[in-house]
Structure 1
Amino acid sequence: MQIPISEIKGIRIGQTENKDAATGCTVFISDNGMRAGLDVRGGGPASRDSQLLNPLMAAQFVHAIVLGGGSAFGLGAAGGVMSYLEERDIGFDVGVTKVPLVVQSDIFDLTVGDKSVRPDFDMGYEAARLAFEAPNYKDGNFGGGTGATVGKYCGMETCMKTGIGSYAVRIGELEIGAVVVLNALGDVFDHKTGKKVAGLLNPDKNGFRSTVELMKESTAVVQNKFTGNTTIGIIMTNAYFEKASLCKIAGMAHDGFARSINPVHTSADGDSIYAVSLGDVSADQDVVGTLAAEVMSEAILSAVNNADSAYGFPSARDLSI
């Protein structure tokens, strides 16, 4: 049964954005800390403290995960999240104080709006505050998905607007959901039908071109593919898993990327997926990993279907292709 992402207990979600500058961030917070894993498949990630999620590292919990814009410039948003959590006495107890453990991954959206404006301390603080005081998660042109676009192999002139999307299900006691910021170099497909739903447009913007077929026309080195890429997401479940299993589940969730985005995991993408455990429901790791891929593919469709045209880039809902 499909459920709203907000029904998954144990996590708070807040997001904020600067619509004029086309950037923002989305924050996921667990008051008591959450077990988390990470799998990075893209070649150009922008991240903060990702090594905390290595199963060999001592920390068993993190307190917040940030999905943001601004590329590496936007990683400062985590500082604002830390500050807000410190005020609430949330963090890892080191004796003299509590240190909130906050990890972050960002998309490259600097070519969409104002490149000088990025998620910063204040934006992170506000997103964390909203997560507690006025949870405001929405799919579409919000939070980390404010400046998201897809289909950029030929540059920004023929790409499409996407955003942030979510999807969650309940099967018996098990709950699992995904949130994704869809900002891929490649094209996007409905994983159930194979139909292209977003991606590289033709010069007249009245039809699609195939990124993969265009790649085949020339194998010459492309000098700069970094026109604004990276898809990042998070899998949330109430099942109990340790870090090593969560890293595996995050890896299996990348199958959802591969079913829906082509090409994917390129050197110009920083594709990254977190997986977090929020409860104590007993479930098989491989079953949860398989479901993770499914809900991720559905979240990708939501990121396409709920986006509005903005910043001169058309969305799927405004094109009849």
Structure 2
Amino acid sequence: MTAIGPTDSLVDVPGVRVGHCTHHGEGWLTGSTVVLTDPDGAVGGVDVRGGGPGTRETDLLNPLHGNERVHAVLLTGGSAYGLSAADGVMSALEDAGIGYPVGPAGVVPIVPAAVIFDLGRGGDVRARPGPESGRLACTDAWTAAGETAVRQGNLGAGTGALAGGLKGGVGSASQLLDDGTTVAALVVVNAVGSVLDPRTGELWGARHLLVEPPARPEPAALQRHLERVEALRRAMMPPEPLATTLVVIATDATLPKSRCAKVAGIAHDGLARAISPVHTMFDGDTAFALSTARRPEPSRFGLHDLLTAAADCTTRAVVHAVLAAESVETAAGRWPSYREELLGG
């Protein structure tokens, strides 16, 4: 029987912390989300499938390369500009003495990063995350360590996220395997593709929820939504159909880099169940995987269960993000949430 973790979020994996920095107002609608590991780091993997990715330090996660551990993963808005937020994460970790040891008392934190496109959604195209955003996200992760769950919706890297004409955001989910292993996902849903079935208005991924799914939208509400999205498409609003959905999978099972890469790859299966189309040339869809190695390495069948859970958690996390998102209006436009536009709440 499938069991949900205590908080149904990424922090159910021991040693993992999540922090957000949110910028909203006065031209801003963006932010950064950081996933921190134990001070000794975690084994990492990555799989990039979107046609327009913006990433940093992903080559280090190649199983053929020597680096074995990462100390944080940064997800951020700001398109390519937002990659500078990783500098703030590195400096915060350096100040804490966390990183790959070099020289006398020196460290180099290893911080892979990926960005979403949200430029100008708050009204000012120059309002985007920088180093201070990354540093503040780390501070939030350390101070939020006692929280019971990852905060979801319109915050952090999900602040300016959209999902096929609806408001996107941050979502998370977790699962406990029969052998005691924990698997969890965190996503930033910012997709060109749609998260809902145009025939019924139901969320594509809702059937994978482990709780009662939301009610089916009324036909009139669905028709209004489809007409609005089509009008936006015809008017080319926003003018650049650019996006990107990001994923971090974490587990306490011991995995080598090659297996982490496999876990990251199967997370994309979870995206494909919840977003259609996915991995387009306008998206930079990227998935990371982290192993904190607090539990033994799984058997072949245990690995199969872990991979299955990774995909399932990713799908559920997308649904959680869309359901947690709230409507937003800025100088650049108005983006209603799924709950407001389709469910009337």
With the shorter chain as reference, the TM-score category is: 0.7 to 0.9
1:154 matched residue in structure 2: none
After superposition, residues 30-179 of structure 1 pair within 5 angstroms as 30=37, 31-96=39-104, 97-113=106-122, 114-135=124-145, 137-151=150-164, 159-172=165-178, 173-179=180-186
- What is the deviation of 1:210? 11
Cα distance in 2 for residues equivalent to 1:90 and 1:121: 17
Query: Does structure 2 retain, via aligned residues, the 8 Å contact 1:187–1:210?
Result: no
Contiguous gaps of at least 5 residues in structure 2: 196-202
Cα distance in 1 for residues equivalent to 2:207 and 2:253: 30
Q: 1:165 to 1:235 in 2, by over 3 A?
A: same
What are the Cα deviations for residues 37-81 of structure 1, in whole angstroms up to 9, with x where unaligned? 000110100111110111111110010100110010000111001
After superposition, residues 4-19 of structure 1 pair within 5 angstroms as 4=7, 5=9, 6-19=11-24
Query: Does structure 2 retain, via aligned residues, the 8 Å contact 1:35–1:241?
Result: yes
Structure 2 letter corresponding to 1:7: D
- Is residue 285 of structure 1 aligned with residue 307 of structure 2? no
After superposition, residues 126-275 of structure 1 pair within 5 angstroms as 126-135=136-145, 137-151=150-164, 159-172=165-178, 173-188=180-195, 189-193=203-207, 206-208=224-226, 226-275=240-289
> Over aligned residue pairs, what C-alpha RMSD do you find?
2.8
What are the Cα deviations for residues 128-150 of structure 1, in whole angstroms up to 9, with x where unaligned? 11211334741100101000002
Query: Does structure 2 retain, via aligned residues, the 8 Å contact 1:179–1:234?
Result: yes
Structure 1 letter corresponding to 2:340: D
What are the Cα deviations for residues 267-305 of structure 1, in whole angstroms up to 9, with x where unaligned? 110001001101223323222111111000000000100
Q: 1:210 to 1:265 in 2, by over 3 A?
A: farther
What are the Cα deviations for residues 179-206 of structure 1, in whole angstroms up to 9, with x where unaligned? 0000010011333549999xxxx9x982
Cα distance in 2 for residues equivalent to 1:225 and 1:196: 32
What are the Cα deviations for residues 152-205 of structure 1, in whole angstroms up to 9, with x where unaligned? xxxxxxx111111000111231101100000010011333549999xxxx9x98
Q: Aligned residues, how many?
A: 304
Q: Give the share of equivalent positions with the same residue, in percent.
A: 38
2:200 matched residue in structure 1: none
2:4 matched residue in structure 1: 2
Q: 1:32 to 1:205 in 2, by over 3 A?
A: farther
Structure 2 letter corresponding to 1:273: A
Q: 1:186 to 1:211 in 2, by over 3 A?
A: farther
Structure 1 letter corresponding to 2:310: A
- Which one is further off, 136-145 or 294-303? 136-145
Contiguous gaps of at least 5 residues in structure 1: 152-158, 216-221
Q: 1:275 to 1:210 in 2, by over 3 A?
A: farther
Q: 1:120 to 1:205 in 2, by over 3 A?
A: farther
Cα distance in 1 for residues equivalent to 2:214 and 2:84: 35
What are the Cα deviations for residues 203-246 of structure 1, in whole angstroms up to 9, with x where unaligned? x982326999xx9xxxxxx9x98433100011011111011111
Structure 2 letter corresponding to 1:263: P
- Which one is further off, 188-197 or 280-289? 188-197
1:218 matched residue in structure 2: none
Cα distance in 2 for residues equivalent to 1:126 and 1:240: 30
Cα distance in 2 for residues equivalent to 1:131 and 1:46: 23
Structure 2 letter corresponding to 1:300: V
Query: Does structure 2 retain, via aligned residues, the 8 Å contact 1:249–1:286?
Result: no
Match of 1:319, SS state, is helix
1:23 matched residue in structure 2: 30
Match of 1:79, SS state, is helix
TM-score, length basis structure 1 = 0.87
Query: Does structure 2 retain, via aligned residues, the 8 Å contact 1:184–1:261?
Result: yes
Structure 2 letter corresponding to 1:27: V
Match of 1:10, SS state, is coil
